[in-house]
Chains A and B, each alone.
Chain A
Amino acid sequence: MVINIIILIALVTAALWTAMTTRLLRSAVGLAITSAILSILIFRLASPIAAVFELSVCAGLIFAIFIISITVTQRVTPEAFETRKKERMTKFWPLPIIVIIAAVVLTQIHFQTTFNLPAQTTPNDVKIILWNLRHLDLLGQIVILLTGAFGVVILFKEWKNG
């Protein structure tokens, strides 16, 4: 339980840093760290395959997408950076306070419940469920990947007028 609580605190802290840090690049790194911590948590919640996906896709692939887009778009002079830092401090100072207050209030509530479920009729195995029982989702995923390919073709194809 203690380990879980440490992981959860780390998760929230990483998310907070992601939102608050001034440099966009650090924000992307923070997001990857949040993903990595989340994947540890998912692994501890008896879901190893989803944890692997979270780690490789979210902390890996999405991090790469963000890094590429940030290096393409970001050109900040030091003076602009200083003013932006001040702006962000004025905009973001309430966030940690809100988070801490919410955390304190919510941990005070004593939540008690039991989880009763109707008897399981399907096997509890991710491979069987994903490949044998959810064909419609698989079809949807294939179509979405196709859509992504079309989107990349349409959005990134060379521009005629410079």
Chain B
Amino acid sequence: MLSLFLLLPFLGIIALNLPVKGRRDAAAFLYTLSLSIGQAIVVLFNPGDFWAKPDFWGGFFNLGLYADNLTFVMLLSIGIVVSTAVCVGWQTISDHRQRLNFYNLVLIALIGMNGTVMLTDIFSLYVFLEVTAISSFILIAFHRDLNALEGAFKYIVLSALATVLMLTSIAALLLFSGGTSFAAVSAAVKSNSGNVIVIIAVSLFICGLFIKGGLVPFHGWLPAAYSAAPAAVSILLAGIVTKVAGIYVLIRLVRDVFGPISEISSVLMLVGTFSIIVGALAALKQDNFKKILAYSSISQVGYIVLGLGCGSPLGIAGAIFHLFNHSIFKSLLFVNSAAVEKQTGSTDITKMGGLGSRMPYSNATNLIAIFSTSGIPPMAGFWSKLVIIMALWQMGHFTYAAIAILVSVITLAYLLAIQRKVFFGILPQELKHIKEAGIWIVIPAVTLAIIIIGTGLCFPLLFKSFLMPVSSFFK
């Protein structure tokens, strides 16, 4: 029944665009919201044998979908982040027709992401990455202001470059494997492990994924796209799109398809460390709320890749847990930036101050997200960073572990600078009239904050039953 994750959004798009009179934007909002929340809940209460059931249309469609625990973690994050973006979109986009277009594109992005995490074929992977990417291009350029168009064009160019690298790699792998399924490719890579063409193919594919995930030598597009996109779209992009398109695929391929190759592991650790450092240092210098968050995203993704490069089951479990945590706390930070942007009309943090007294919910939830990002106990982010650092320590990578701890301090510094400049301090005269942003921004913010604290407090329970099984597929 996994195909429901693709077919329900698809049928929704068709139904929403039938020429019917009435508030189609409200219908679209309710449908998208219930679909994404439903996805999160269904995955959370994981009814095991439900997924194993064959589709009710018998063998008519042969989609070849597959789900393991990693897939379920991703489906859960997708559900949470998409529902957040849907709520914020309702609050920040006012025009009826634009709202309808927005929800259609969000549903398409949902199909793209759900497909990406469930498929088992390296070429279908390209197709669904393109579905996600094309809907993101349009979403970034949604309001057609010049900065957003610039960000979207940069994203198109670099994303096209990434897909070209991946397709070259697929063509090279076709020389050795009898098909494009993960199983065939995996067998081909294993039986030709020393071959130069195979090594080039694998490195090209991983290079493409570095571009998609915005890791350091290839991060040029990311701050432009994140900061220029409409508020709700930044949540979607930063929270989940680049994580699915870049990082999830990286984990899946390195873990299950290409297998642990030691050269790749060291490259991953190096790139991860550079991303951590460069992202954090660049974030220190910014004055724009969303740009700081974008660079912080690069830095946090570096932690995930560092954990993955570590290669031990503990490291991969930490990477996946940090991926989940990152999508929650980065969405929360972007929700708060959306609230501030909507109420003050600006994202320049030097012009603000003292909003905490006016926007108490944003103030409190932002502080929780900051603590989780920089790894203060007992927030969820603390545990995932701890697991990654422990894994590094176990494998004897002491320098990397030390850098990871040190940059956590820098993370706290630049994020607290946001908190100090935006929410603490003296309220400027022209911002006296500010109120809390609307209900559809406060509800997701509070929900995400509860998820962060809840995950942090339940961590000992989750670790044995939920997280270590995620990495147990690693053989």
Contact = CB atoms under 8 A, between A and B. Distances in A.
Do A and B touch (CB < 8 Å)? Answer: yes
Interface of A: 115, 117-122, 132-137, 139-141, 143-144, 146-148, 150-151, 153-155, 159
A136 B138 CA distance: 23
B175 A115 contact: yes
Interface of B: 6, 10, 13, 61-65, 101, 104-105, 108, 111-112, 115, 119, 121, 123-124, 127-128, 130-131, 134-135, 137-138, 141-142, 144, 175-179, 184, 187
Contacts of B124: 134, 136-137, 140
Residue among A122, A135, A159 with max Cβ neighbours from chain B (10 Å): A135
Contacts of A140: 115, 124, 127-128, 130-131
A16 to B, nearest CB: 19
**4 nearest interchain CB pairs?**
A140-B127, A151-B138, A118-B178, A136-B124
Contacts of B64: 135-136
A159 B176 CA distance: 52
Contact of B6 (A121, A134, A139, A147): A139
B101 A139 contact: no
Given A115-B175, A137-B123, A151-B134, A143 B108 contact: yes
B288 to A, nearest CB: 25
Contact of A144 (B105, B134, B177, B179): B134
A150 B108 contact: yes
Nearest to A133: B62
Contact of A147 (B115, B119, B123, B135): B135
Nearest to B109: A147
Contacts of B61: 135
A154 B112 contact: no
A146 B111 CA distance: 12
Nearest to B111: A143
Contacts of B101: 150, 153-154
A121 B115 contact: no
A136 B13 CA distance: 18
A118 B192 CA distance: 12
B72 to A, nearest CB: 19
Given A141-B127, A143-B111, A159-B144, 4 more contacts: A133-B62, A143-B108, A151-B134, A153-B101
A143 B123 contact: no
Nearest to B176: A117
A141 B265 CA distance: 34
A135 B3 CA distance: 12
Given A118-B178, A136-B64, A136-B121, A147 B105 contact: yes
